[in-house]
Amino acid sequence: MTNPPVQRALISVSDKSGLAKFAQGLAAAGVEIFSTGGTRKFLIAAGIEARDVARYTGFPEMMEGRVKTLHPKIFGGILCRHDHAEDMQSVEEHEIATFELVVVNLYPFAATIAKPGVSPEEAIENIDIGGPSLVRAAAKNHAFVAIVTSPQQYAEVLAEIAQDKATSFPLRQKLAGAAYAHTAEYDAAIATWFAREEGDGTTERERLFPPKIGLALEKQGELRYGENSHQHAAVYRVANANGVSLVSAKQLNGKELSYNNLLDLDSALAIVRGFEQPAASVIKHNNPCGAATSDSLAQAAKMALAGDPQSAFGGVLAFNRAVDVATAEVLSEPGLFIEAIVAPSFDAAALQILTTRPKWKTNVRLLEIGPLDPPSARINFRQIEGGMLVQEADVLPDPESEWKVVTAGEPQDALLADLRFGWSIVRHVKSNAIVLSKDGSLIGCGAGQMSRVDSVEIAIVKAGDRAPGSVLASDAFFPFPDSIHKAAAAGVAAIIQPGGSVKDAEVIAACNQHGIPMIFTGRRHFKH
C-alpha cells in the first residue's frame, strides 16, 4: 500500500495542549494547515500560518459555531480514495483539496456534565457534531488519511512525517482504531447522560439503570501478571472518572504493581476513607487483618499492625492522612514486611525513612493518591459469564436513627464507640463476616466462611486473650443462637448486627441470658 505524502492537515481541537509544538513541526515539514475558529486563532497567535476553512469552503461559520466544517469540500477532501480515478476526478472537478492528516478532539462533554449544577442547555451545547463526523470520516479512510484524536499521539505522528513526509499504514490503522474508541466513549457518555436526565415518569431506579450502559475504559498499563503468574493482566481507567483513585495515584517507590496489589490497596483504601479520625488499615488477601483509628496516625498504624501480626506480614496498608515521620518509624520497626502502602501523601522525611531503612526499602510500593474525598462511584459493575451485574455501591454510612437496642441491657458509651467502629469495618469483610473490635481497633476477623458460627470461632481465635471486653459485629443476622453462646464464652461485651432472622427472638434471649447488649441496625452488608 502506498503512503500518500501529507500535504495538508485539518486541525480543529478543544484540548490545545501540545498543539503549538505539533503544528510548528508540521509547518516545518511543509504541511499546509487548515483550521477553524478558536483553533485557528490559537495557531496564528503562536506564529503558525493556518488557512481559514470558511474562506476555503466559501461558507462562513454560522449558528454560533454549530456549523463550521460540515461541507463537501471538507469531507470530500477527507473521504476521497487516492487510488480511485472517479474520486480523484471529483476532487479535480470541484476544486477540492485533499487532507492526509486530520487532527480533532471533541468538545469536553464529560467534563461539562461533571461540573456541579450544570444546566441541560450547557450540556447539550457541549455535544460535538462536526468533530465526531470528521473523526469517523478520516478513520474510515485510514488507507490514505491519518486521524489524530489525542495530544499523546502527536510525537509519533510528527516523527513519521518529519522522516518520510508521510505516515505509515500501520500507524494510520492504529490511529483509526483509537479514533473509533474515542467516538464510542463520547457517544456512550452522551447516551448515559440522556438516560439519566429523562423527565417526568422516570424513576430514580430507571435513571440508575438505563436500558443500555456504555462502559468506556482507557488502558493505563499492563501488569506483571494476573491473580496467578500464568494469567496476563492490565489495568484500565474508567474514562472521565472523577475523584481520587488508585488508577490515578502516583507511585513513588517500589516494584511494579500487581493485579492482587491493586485489589488489596483498593480494599484498604475503602476502609480508611470512611473515618474522620486518623485511620490505618491492613489488608491480606482482600480482607482486613488490622484496622484502627486514633488521635495520631502513628498510633493508628501501631494498633492496626497489632490486630493480627502474623497475617499483617506481607500485607498492604492504607492511611487517610499524610504519612509522617512518626508513622514511618512504626512501619520500619524490625520484623515487619510490607508489600505496599497507599496514602494521601508522604512527608519528605517519612519517604526517606521508608525507602532507605527497612530491608524491604527498594521493593515496597508507595502510592500517593492525593487528598481523599468521598467515593465517587454510585454504581458497581461485576462481570459474570456473558454479562454484567450492576448495583448501587454500598458506600453510604447507615443512619444510626434506624438502630435499635433489642436487649434488656443497653451498651455503655465506651462500648457504643467500638460498636460504631466494628460496624464500619464489617462491611469490608467477605461474607460471612464477623469482626471483634476493642478500643478503636480490629482485633479479630472471621471472613468468607460458609457458616457464620465458623467465622465467629475464627475471629475469637484471632483475638485470643484480647477478646474479653471486645464487641462483635456481624454483617448479617445470626440464624441460630449458637454464635451468641460462643461469643459470651469468649467474653464479648456487646453485639451489633442487622437482625431479621426467624430466630431473632432466640438470639435476643441468648444475649439477655449472658447479659450482652445487642443492637439491630436493620441493614445487611454482605460482600461477596
Domains of the chain in sequence order: 8-194 (3.40.50.1380), 240-368 (3.40.140.20), 404-520 (3.40.140.20)
Write down the catalytic residue from 71, 140, 174, 514: 140
Name the band, by pLDDT with cuts 50, 70 and 90, for residue 68.
low
115 neighbors 193 (Cβ within 8 angstroms): no
Query: 248 or 92: whose pLDDT is higher?
Result: 248
Contacting residues for 423 by C-beta, under 8 A, at least 6 apart:
398, 473, 496, 521
Mean pLDDT score, 301-307: 96
How confident is the model at residue 113, as a pLDDT? 67
How confident is the model at residue 92, as a pLDDT? 75
Q: What is the pLDDT of residues 93-123, one digit of tens each?
A: 777 788 889 998 876 767 666 677 777 777 7
Name the band, by pLDDT with cuts 50, 70 and 90, for residue 83.
confident
When mean pLDDT is compared over 6-10, 11-15, 201-205, 458-462, the highest value belongs to 458-462
Write down the catalytic residue from 285, 485, 514, 527: 285
Whether the per-residue pLDDT at 200 is higher than 70: the answer is no
140 catalytic, yes or no?
A: yes
Q: Is 87 left (phi over 0), alpha (psi -120 to 50) or beta?
A: alpha
**338-to-59, 162, 270 alpha-carbon distances in Å:** 65, 48, 19
Name the band, by pLDDT with cuts 50, 70 and 90, for residue 176.
very high
With 0.85 as the threshold, say if the pTM is over it: no
285 catalytic, yes or no?
A: yes
Whether the per-residue pLDDT at 65 is higher than 60: the answer is no
